[in-house]
Amino acid sequence: MRAQRVWKVNGDASVSQLQSRLDDLNKRLGQLESQHPDSWTVQELRASALGLSREIDDVRCAEATAALSELLRK
* Full pLDDT tens readout for the chain, 74 residues: 455 444 444 556 688 888 999 999 999 999 988 888 788 888 888 899 999 999 899 888 988 898 899 889 87
Q: Is 29 contained in some domain? A: yes
Q: Is residue 45 within 8 Å of 5, Cβ to Cβ? A: no
Q: What is the C-alpha separation between 42 and 36, in angstroms, rounded?
A: 8
Residue 6 lies in a domain: no
Q: Look up the pTM and report it.
A: 0.67
Give pLDDT, residue 54.
92
Domain annotation covers residue 54: yes
The domain total for the chain is: 1
Residue in 66, 2, 6 with CA at minimum distance from that of residue 55: 6
The amino acid present at 70, given as its one-letter code, is E
HSE-CB at 57 with a 13 A cutoff on CA atoms is 6
pLDDT of residue 5: 47
Structural domain harbouring 28:
15-73
CA distance 59 to 19: 11
